[in-house]
Structure 1
Amino acid sequence: MVLLVSAGCNQGFSMKKKQCIALSFFLIMVLSVSADCPQGFHLKKGKCIDINECEEDVPRCGENAICTNTNGSYYCQCKGGFRSSTGKVNFTAGGCKDIQECLENKDICGPNAKCENAIPYYSCTCDKGFISTTGNKTFRHDQNATCEDINECQKGNPCGRNALCNNTQGSYYCVCNAGFGLKSGRLNFSGNLEQCEDICITDKTICGSGTCHHGASGHYCVCQTGFTNYGNNMSRCTELNCDVFKDINDAKERFHIVDGLVNYMEKTCQELTNNKRPVHLNGEETLKRFLNMTDELLSSAFLNYKRKVSDFLDLVGNALRLIGPLTNSSRIYISSTHTELDMLVHKGPVIPKGNITLSTNHASLDIQMEIAAGDPAYYPGFTTVSLMSYSNLENSTDGFFNGMKPQKNQSFKINSKVATVTVSNRNTSHLKTPVNLTLYHLEEQANQTFHICVFWDSSLNGGSWSDRGCSVAESSLEYTSCSCNHLGTFVILTAHNEIEEKFEFHLIIWVFLSLSLICLFISILTFSMIQSIKSPRTTIHLNLCISLFIANLVFLAGISHIENQDGCTVVTGILHFSYLATFLWMCLDSVQLFRMIMLVLNTNFKTLHMMAVACGVPAVIVAISALANSKGHGTDRYCWVTQGFIWNYFGPACVIIIVNIFFFFITVWKLAQKFSSVNPDLDDLHKIEAFTISALAQLFVLGNTWIFGSFQFQENHTAMAYLTIFGSLEGVTLFTVYCLFSRQVREEYKHALTRICAPRKKSDRKARVSKRAQDTGECQL
């Protein structure tokens, strides 16, 4: 303003110069006075007065906000249900936005209510079947309102006169009274779509082959002759064929235990078919009695023919089906001397569903309950599943393999306990969904073998194991899992593919063993008759040759004669003892050789002590093995220790071999030092040659190759077969090392041959003996 006035005076406005100066001065004074009021105030009548920003034409806070004036300023606050964009309660910049209460706090309305967002605030509405405590249709949490259940059963009679109303949270359902049901077959209903009617009318098949009657406590079924509902009058009547027990009358007459068991089961069956439940019958006690009688049967010699085995297994299946519905427990486990039973019993009008698992120490069963229950149209009101395993039935059934089709040179052997699977559903000959049964092996799987899942088929020539309908789902060293489309009695077979032994191999073994016997016989004569070479080591060699001679002789004479069990047991015992004694004499020889070379001691083992160790220890081992298992001697092919007791031989043999190897390396190392010291001028080639010959000779003398031949009795491996050939030359090796390699023995052989071929005069012979005795200081023959 002052600038404009000055500019107007300078540009020649029609005012005097003094007037322009005075006006400019006045304006300066006015502006200087206004400038003294702070921001938010204006000058009025010479005073600074507050400016009310909230009353200005242009709203400073925007919509959904409240403006509050302050002295010299103002601030804004959002209305209820809104929040400032800056997040501050008081603000001067920004605006307000709606709060999404339903998203930020999902439980703001409480249980059984739905939240709906509004502008501003929100609204809560109770779910169907609930009402707010205030009675209002909508509410907010700050109104202290919640949703409570509406009890529909208190409002009139929504279920009708033949049903009972049950209130639930937010709803209700109706259950028909006893003796009434729904046409749809459902167990409960709500609303007016269905009503409960007399069950004898709505479901005319509820009693099966019986007649339905309506009583005060509901319906009841009256069964015809030959049918039973196991004493439960509300259950369906099912046919019960008691002739299955009469079919084994032949077995009853031959064995009194079977006679008592069959008569008892037949009597119980007859009482049930006359629409009675025997008052004396307790399902659990009956099972125990049945298993005890089964134990007596299994511990006897009755099951010695396949027809008897078939009758016994049929009796077990029918008895378990008969007794199962009479039990009061839902799960039963009973273990006896020779049997083990795991049973599941389900009772009620609802057909059970889902997978269940039953198990014993020897088997495990996975089965769908729908399979056990059978056709829903003929559901009897109960379902039973049982898994029963036997501790010794495999001994009575091993060898009945007429239903199998073996390949060439293939043999079978049972490798698990026998287990029977029984369900209340009798139609299990061809199942749509297979069942899984796991059986644990008696022996671990060996090479050149595989496992087969089989069941007992009574229709095959009186009974036989058959693999029809079964396959192997999984197999390991410990167990095999079978998948079968039928039920019955199952077991695992081990199929062994035997390699046809060649005649040439047998011929070589016989020739080599015969040659070893000749060499051992000569060695025995040498060590026992030549006095000049007798020493503690030759005593060991003599007994070593005797033990090996007996073992080889018995091996040739009786190893394959398995037709006589008693004779085979004797042969196995002699072989077991002789080979262990041979290993022990080898061990004593290695220790004695170690003492002579390494320790340079002149002390020797006493003969009595050596005999006690080399003969006493094998005798104890053989005696323990025979007492532990009298049938442990004799395999399917050889008179030798069976697989379960083979470590009675391999254990001591391996220990002795480890000791021999230890002394072998120490002895060879010491011999190598002696070679270097005794022959310092030998070149390296001669040293290596001498070291190698001694090492190989000592290895054969210590008998380390014989352990491989022992494996030949268990499995027919080609590699083991050729190692057995080397082992059969052990007698030749002993004769070569201990006799032919000995200079002193060679001289005695030479003199003996000389006396036989060209006898000298007695005086010359005496002179020679005397002269040699003076030179060597040894006694001569």
Structure 2
Amino acid sequence: MIFHFVGFFHSLTMWHKYLLSLVLLLALTENILMNTDCRPGQIMRRGKCVDENECETNPSICGRNATCFNTVGSYYCQCHEGFKPNNQSPHNFTQADSIECKDINECLVNSTDCGPNTTCNNTEGGYNCTCATGYISSTGKDILNSGQGVQCTDRDECSDPSFCGKHASCHNTAGGFFCICEAGFRLKSGGTNFTNTSELCESRTNSSLDLMSDVLLTAIKASQPFPEFTNLVSLMTNISQILNQSEPVRMKDFTKQDRKSFLQAFQNALDDLLRGGFSADSAKVSALFSIVESMLKLIGHQQSESPTRRESSTTDVELLVMRGNSPPEGVFVMNTSGAQLTSHWETATGNTYLGFTTTALLSYNGLEKSLDGFFDHLETKKNETFKINSKVVTATVSNKETNNLTKRVNFTFYHLEISPKEKNEKQRPVCVFWDPELDGGAWSTRGCTTVSFSPDRTNCSCNHLSSFAVLMALYDIGDVYELRVITLVGLSLSLICFLICIVTFYFVRSIQSTRNTIHLHLCISLFIAYFVFLVGISRTENEVGCSVVAGILHYFFLASFCWMCLEGVQLFRMVVLVFNTTLRPVYMFAAGYGVPAVIVAISALVNASGYGTKKHCWLNIEDGFIWSFYGPVCVIIIVNVLFFLITISKLAEKFSSLNPDLDSLHKIKAFTITAIAQLCILGIMWVFGCFQFNENTVVMSYIFTILSSLQGVLMFIMHCWLAKQVREEYAKFLSCICTPHKRKYSEFTSNQSSKPQASRSDTHTGESHI
């Protein structure tokens, strides 16, 4: 077939060849012209212009780590997640922009959320998390992803007892650990602690390093349960490492400033812990004292000067150091702002001389407020309470054996300021030390005695060293059994007598007058006050109820004094001005009940917490709130005394003028009885209540208790029993009860006599002959 076509082509004429070439050229030109009619980004397909998909035509058009997105007539590129355009290029780009997508390091731009105790690891286009060194994931996997709730917890390297090797102990820390050579061993490098478990502890004979290892180990063990001591122990570890880097022959290379910086750093760390108060429990206090003693031993023999004294905001410390070929001898004295220590160098050195001997005395400023407790193991006398009355001090020496010293150490403690109330109480100083073996820690007197004391200081002697203080045993008058019996019996009798007086003054009309109205409300106020006192004064288990009881007692005792004041005013008006002078009831009620209400309301608004104490439902004495009662009482007593003196002087004149033939003895007797009676009624007995502060005023307490508890009996005797007219009414009442058949005659007699009595009611005083 091909041969036939070739033959056919050769058989064509030249003209025909030219014609065929022209046809082919025209067809090719038409196709080119048709393609050039499509817009950019389009191609001709089947005679039509359609969009060109550049992403398919050229898959690598956007480069690495980018995605191509086709659009109508064009396209754009975006970097993959975890990548970003180089420089500050736009988010979308094309090949013409010459942009490359670079990996984003999420670990540097803080866009990770791995969680605490983790490490971020950047990867191509992403990142992953792993637990930090010394921590392990809760799932046990090495690679973590954020948002899965996986936690990294501390890896306890010390769970294996043999982790640190022989003669070393392992101590786990957050995210790490360290090993400490046991006493008598050291590393070849001269250190005491290490983290390279390939190192081994070997026997050593360097005494200073032995001391450092011992005290460091003691401090670490004491601090482990309490994270607040971490800074102190870390500082101690750092100092130990610095000192261990130098051999003993090079210790002289440390300058004076270097040595002082150790002490300064220690006090600064202690200030941070104690500043603002120290919330203490017994175990925490024991740990604090153990760490402080260890630190003082560690830095004591590094001091170049002796003595070294330094004060800070919370501590005052003095250090002594003696060096030489032979141990020092004699007496040494140390002073701080809180105490003085006197001892012997032989006591500080002990049986083993290390080439040096150190002593230290440290006083804490304000720590006594946090430790003013922990007295349960102390023997107390009756009605004694304890209070720390000196600064707390810590004393330590380089001698390891200080639990039972052959030569006792002597302390002089300077007393702190105490309140005026405590100054009036009996005081008994007690020398104590902090014993960590008593329920985790408590104050104890074991091995310590009180040698002597004065108002400003106490001398103590102890056969051991630790942390010390002086307690002041304060005598509290407390509850005396005899006083309780007198109060119970006296108040019971008074309540009965007050009730009889109230019934008498209210129902017996023949004796009703202004004075007896005052007596009636005086008895009502005292009856309520004494009844509430009897049933509620000791009910302190409910604070709110106790406050209410204290408020009721405050009000009705003040009301009784106000009615007593009205009694004095009325006596004055009757005797000095004009007899039978009356007071309007509205004024009497305003003064008798209104004034106490105002005083109690103001007191409650000013200091509501002053109502109720730990022992009694009464006003608080320590903060001076008691004067909201004694203040008005003193004013009323002064006013009554003035009225009383004037009244008595006028009565004396009337005795002389009305009874000129009365012999002197009769005058003195009547004057004395009247004076004593009015003194009791007007409340002079309450003066004795102001002097009940300490052991020396027990007599005052007895006088006050007897007179106040029997006040109802005195009221009944003077205003009812000794009043002739009242006795007559009692006799009539008893005769009616004993002889009922004569009741009609008695009623008739009473009715007949009521008219003349009523006619005299305006002039009759209704008083006793006294």
Structure 1 length-normalised TM: 0.56
Q: Which residue of 2 aligns with 1:437?
A: 413
Give 2:316's aligned residue: 342
SS at structure 2 position matched to 1:633: coil
2:764 matches 1:772: no
8 Å CA contact retained: 1:398, 1:413: no
Matched, 1:264 2:231: yes
Pairing 1:422–2:404 present: no
Offset of residue 364 of structure 1: 3.6
Secondary structure of the 1:475 match is: strand
Which of 550, 558, 572 aligns to 2:536? It is 558
Confirm or deny that 1:387 pairs with 2:368: no
Q: Displacement of 1:465 after TM fit?
A: 2.5
Distance 1:320 1:536, change over 3 A: farther
Higher relative contact order (CA 8 A, sep 6+): 2
Deviation at 1:721, TM superposition (A): 5.6
**By how many angstroms is 1:698 displaced?**
0.9
Report what 2:241 is aligned to: 274
Specify the code of the residue in structure 1 equivalent to 2:677: A
In the TM superposition, what is the alpha-carbon distance from 1:458 to its structure 2 partner? 1.7
Q: Using the TM superposition, give the Cα deviation of residue 766 of structure 1 relative to its aligned residue in structure 2, in angstroms.
A: 5.4
Would the alpha carbon gap of residues 536 and 625 (structure 1) be closer, same or farther in structure 2, given more than 3 Å must change?
A: farther
**Structure 1 position 557, deviation (Å):** 1.6
The yes-or-no answer on 1:225 pairing with 2:192 is: yes
Q: Output one character per residue of 1:27-61: Cα deviation in whole Å (capped at 9) or x when no partner.
A: xxxxxxxxxxxxxxxxxxxxxxxxxxxxxxxxxxx
- Gapped regions of structure 2 (runs ≥ 5): 1-182, 195-205, 246-257
Distance 1:277 1:612 in 2: 81
Per the TM alignment, residue 696 of structure 1 is displaced from its structure 2 partner at its CA by: 1.4
Query: Using the alignment, how far apart are the partners of 1:320 and 1:742 within structure 2?
Result: 83
CA contact (8 A) 1:523 1:542 kept: yes
Report the residue type matching 2:430 in the other structure: I
C-alpha contact (below 8 Å) 2:435/2:442 kept by paired residues:
yes
Change (3 A) 1:346 1:691: same
CA shift in 2, pair 1:593/1:331, >3 Å:
farther
Which residue of structure 2 lines up, in the alignment, with residue 725 of structure 1?
706
Name the % identity.
33
- Secondary structure (helix, strand or coil) at the match of 1:726 reads helix
Provide the residue aligned with 1:670 in structure 2: 650
Letter in 1 for 2:394: V
Amino acid at match of 2:340: L
Q: How does 1:319-338 map to 2 (within 5 A)?
A: 331-335=309-313
Compared CA separation, residues 494 and 731, structure 1 to 2 (3 A): same
Per the alignment, residue 546 of structure 1 pairs with 524
Q: Determine the C-alpha separation between the residues in 2 that align with 1:593 and 1:687.
A: 20
Kept after mapping to 1: 8 A contact 2:490/2:710 = yes
Q: How does 1:54-203 map to 2 (within 5 A)?
A: none
Contact 2:426-2:694 within 8 A present in 1 as well: no
Q: Deviations over 1:452-511 (max 9, x none)?
A: 222222223433322233232333455544344444132314175989955x76444322
3-state SS of the aligned residue for 1:274? helix
For 1:780 and 1:500, the matched residues in 2 are separated by: 43
TM-score (norm 2): 0.57
**What are the superposed Cα offsets for residues 665-699 of structure 1, whole Å, 9 maximum, x if unpaired?**
33222211111112222222322221122111112
**Which residue does 2:684 correspond to in 1?**
704
1:473 corresponds to: 451
- The root-mean-square deviation of aligned C-alpha atoms, in Å, is 4.9
Write out aligned runs for 1:439-518 (5 A).
439-440=415-416, 442=418, 444=422, 450-477=428-455, 479-487=457-465, 488-494=467-473, 496=475, 506-518=484-496
In structure 1, how many angstroms separate the alpha carbons of the residues matched to 2:578 and 2:189?
102
Equivalents in 2 of 1:320, 1:577: separation in Å? Answer: 59
Which position in structure 2 is the counterpart of 1:737?
A: 718
Q: Deviations over 1:344-391 (max 9, x none)?
A: 3568969998634322xxx44354695997579436697643111435
Distance 1:559 1:529 in 2: 32
Match of 2:595 in 1: 613
* Residues 726-735 or 480-489, more deviating: 480-489
2:217 pairs with 1:243:
yes
3-state SS in 1 of match to 2:656: helix
Is the alpha carbon distance of 1:776 and 1:554 closer, same or farther for their aligned partners in structure 2, counting shifts above 3 Å?
closer
Displacement of 1:442 in angstroms is: 3.6
CA–CA separation in structure 1 for the residues paired with 2:344 and 2:602: 55
Aligned residues: 534
- Most deviating of 456-465 and 601-610: 601-610
**Could you say if the C-alpha distance between residues 694 and 415 of structure 1 is closer, same or farther in structure 2, counting changes exceeding 3 Å?**
farther
Give the deviation of 1:450 after TM superposition: 2.9
Deviation of the 1:572 alpha carbon: 4.5
- Which position in structure 2 is the counterpart of 1:61? none
Distance 2:509 2:355 in 1: 94
Contact 1:527/1:538 (<8 A) preserved: yes
Distance 1:550 1:295, change over 3 A: farther
Question: Residue 311 and residue 399 in structure 1: after superposition, are their counterparts in 2 closer, same or farther (change >3 A)?
Answer: same
For 1:532 and 1:558, how far apart are their aligned partners in 2? 37
Q: Distance in 2 between matches of 1:732 and 1:395?
A: 50
State how far apart, in whole Å, the 2-side matches of 1:296 and 1:524 are.
59
Displacement of 1:514 in angstroms is 0.6
Structure 1 residue 291 and structure 2 residue 271: aligned? yes
Amino acid of the residue matched to residue 378 of structure 1?
L
Pick closer, same or farther for the CA change 1:606–1:500 going to 2, 3 Å: closer
Task: Decide whether aligned partners of structure 1 residues 664 and 518 sit closer, same or farther in structure 2, where only a CA change above 3 A counts.
Answer: same
Higher mean displacement: 710-719 or 428-437: 710-719
Per-residue Cα deviation, 1:758-778 (whole angstroms, up to 9, x for no partner): 256988765543343234448
Task: Describe the superposition over 1:611-651 as per-residue Cα deviations: whole angstroms up to 9, x where unpaired.
Answer: 34344335545765654x67x7234x896755664863556
Structure 1 range deviating more: 638-647 or 513-522: 638-647
Change (3 A) 1:536 1:695: same
Alpha-carbon separation, structure 1, partners of 2:219 and 2:286: 13
Q: Is 1:480–1:492's contact at 8 Å kept on the other side of the alignment?
A: no
Deviations 1:560-599 (A, max 9, x none): 4455566555545544554444444434433443344335
